[in-house]
Structure formats: C-alpha cells, structure tokens
Structure 1
Amino acid sequence: MTLDTQDPIHEDRTWSDAQWTARVIKNEDDDGWAVAMYLDGESEPALVGPWTMGRDKKNPKPLDTAAFNTLVKTAREVIRRSEQQRHAELNKNVTVTVAGRRIHVALAIVPDEDGATATLCARDELDEELARVPVPPTFKLGVQSAQAWVEANFERPR
C-alpha cells in the first residue's frame, strides 16, 4: 500500500507520515476493528492487530499521534525481529577445535529465485580466512560436519 503523496494524513481511520501509513479496517473475522501498518513502498502490511472500539461500541476509536507513534514503534520491532530471524536461518556458525586449533566455521546461504547458493568458510582465532568453498544450500552445518570438513583439510563437502 503506497500513498502518492508525501503530505501527512491525519484522519480518524488513516494516519500517515513520510514512511508509515496506519489504516483502521473492519475485522473480517468478527464485529470488531483492526489496524494495518504499511511501510511506504510495501504492498503487504508489516503489522496487523486489533483496534479499539470507540465510545459508541460500534465504530473504531479514531487514530491519534500517540497511537500512531506506538504503532510505528511496534511495526519497526516486528520488521527487525523478522530480519533477525531470516538472518539466523541463512547464516549459521560453529567453533570447533581440531589439532589444538580453534576454528570458526560459517555457512552463509544466499537466497535467489533461480536457485540459492551457499558458501562454507573457515577462519582461525586471528580471523584469518583458512578456506572458502561453495556448498549446496541444503548443507547442514553442525559441530560434526564442521569438524569433518576441517579434518579433511577443507576439501569441498559432498
């Protein structure tokens, strides 16, 4: 949902600034209301949550500055957590000790519509790169697989 204007909107059911738009919408699941928070340029809301009924118990409570600021803060947190989760899914690392050396092994997966790629990298205690090899994006990095890779002199895993 994008707005074609940079001017802020401060209406009962729509509130926006240069980056975010809040829209109070009818909750399709019941008789209540919901609020959807859109980041400028995005078609899907970053956050959808219940919205308070007004005094007449029929219509939604109007948006205001305080509510909008709270919604923006919450939506930013949702996005941040989602990004952290995605990063954790795509980047794994373990530290193993082989022949008395501590070696940090990292797997980085790069998603792509045409096919994801992945790289396995080893670094020593001084953060010097020891090896870097491509691996299938399905490669499972764990202590055992990292140790086996190091013990095999960083030969590309199969």
Structure 2
Amino acid sequence: MSDAPDTDEPLHEPRLWRDNGWTAQVIKNEDDEGWAVAMFKAGESEPALVGPWTMGRDKKNPKPLDSAAFNTLVKTASEVIRRHEQQLHAQLNKALHVARDGTWIKVTLEIVPAEDEPYAWLRALDTAGEPLAQVKVGANFRFTQSAAEAWVDAGFERPAGRD
C-alpha cells in the first residue's frame, strides 16, 4: 500500500493522510499525466476506492491532501464498502413467501460461502418469524418459487439430491 509504517497514529502529509482507520494516498496515474488517490481501510491490502486526483496550481504536481478532501474521500469510500456489503448480502440471502392453509410461510435461503465446501441453509419461518424448519442444502440449490412451494408441500423434508 504505502511506504508509511503500519500504525494507527494520524499522519497528515501532502500525499499521504492517515486518520480514523483510513489512509489516503495520492499516486501517479500510470495511464496518463495525471494523479489518482487510493483510499485504504485499516487492515485491508486492497483499496476500497481509487479515483482521479486534482492537479495543483503548477499543473504538474498533485493538489495536497487536506482535512476536507480526506473527510469527503472517507465518506465516499465508506459508501462504496457499504454498497458492496449490501450487494454481497443480497447475493447470499434470498427470501420467498408461500401461502398455505390461509397463512404465509417465509422461505429463505442463506448461502454460506465456505472456501472448501460452500453450502446453504433452507429455512421456513411462520408469520411471527418463528422457525418451522431448517435443512442444509448445496450452495447451488436452485431457489425458485416452485422449489419453495414443493419443500413446504413435502412437509419440509430435505429436497432430494440437494446437498
């Protein structure tokens, strides 16, 4: 990431600013004559955000980092991370509703992306959110409305061939 020692101590330099768990580093843009800024969250090796950085008055060197710019970069990078986490959560967690006997049953699939053998939990919840059933299925379980209905209709038995 940077040449600065890995510490939590605040650092405020023209091209390197570290504070509140974030580091902003102004770097030469390899693609053209300009500059870029990379934002790193403490403990992460990859930047959360990389974007163009403003040239200074001399049109050669980058504009120095300052408190206002750093705070804006932290806010933007935090939003990028939040959106990424929301997207990942949506990919790993699905929910459908099945109506049976005049009541709604919520059927969920929670994928557990374990490195060696990913799997998923297929769950049924009543209208109060109380668990009715849970079975472990393969991470590749095809979670569709018809699959959820079939599972409910089968009395929550583990779907065949789904591990």
Give the TM interval when normalised to the shorter protein: over 0.9
- The equivalent of 1:93 in structure 2 is 95
Unaligned 5+ residue runs, structure 1?
none
**Displacement of 1:92:** 0.4
2-structure distance, mates of 1:126, 1:64: 51
Q: Give the letter for the 2:89 counterpart.
A: H
1:18 Cα deviation after fit: 3.8
In the TM superposition, residue 147 of structure 1 has moved relative to its aligned partner by 0.8
* 1:78 matched residue in structure 2: 80
- Note the C-alpha offset of 1:5: 2.6
**CA deviation string 1:5-26 (max 9, x = no partner):** 3321111110111401000001
Is 1:143 paired with 2:145?
yes
Deviation at 1:145, TM superposition (A): 1.2
Q: Counterpart of 1:24?
A: 26
1:11 corresponds to 2:31: no
The CA deviation string for residues 23-63 of structure 1, in whole angstroms up to 9 with x for no partner, is 00011111111000011111111110111111111111110
The SS at the match of 2:104 is: strand
Q: Which runs of 5+ in 2 are unaligned?
A: none
**Alpha-carbon separation, structure 2, partners of 1:105 and 1:151:** 12
Structure 2 length as normaliser, TM-score? 0.92
Letter in 1 for 2:34: G
Query: How many correspondences in the alignment?
Result: 158
- Give the match's secondary structure for 2:97: strand
Task: Summarize deviations over 1:68-109 as a string: whole Å, max 9, x none.
Answer: 000001111111111111111101001111232210000011
Q: 1:141: Cα distance to partner?
A: 1.5
- CA distance in 1 between counterparts of 2:40 and 2:103 reads 49
Aligned 1:102-117 pairs, distance under 5 A:
102-117=104-119
> What is the aligned-residue RMSD (CA, Å)?
1.3
Moved segments of 4+, more than 4 Å: none
Percent sequence identity over aligned pairs: 64
- Larger RCO of the pair (alpha carbons < 8 Å, separation 6+): 1
Report the equivalent of 1:126. Answer: 128
1:41 is the counterpart of 2:46:
no
TM-score normalized with structure 1 length? 0.95
Letter matched to residue 121 of structure 2: T
Distance (whole Å) between structure 2 residues aligned to residue 6 and residue 130 of structure 1: 47
CA distance, structure 2, for counterparts of residue 101 and residue 108 of structure 1: 23
Aligned equivalents of 1:130 and 1:40: distance in 2? 41
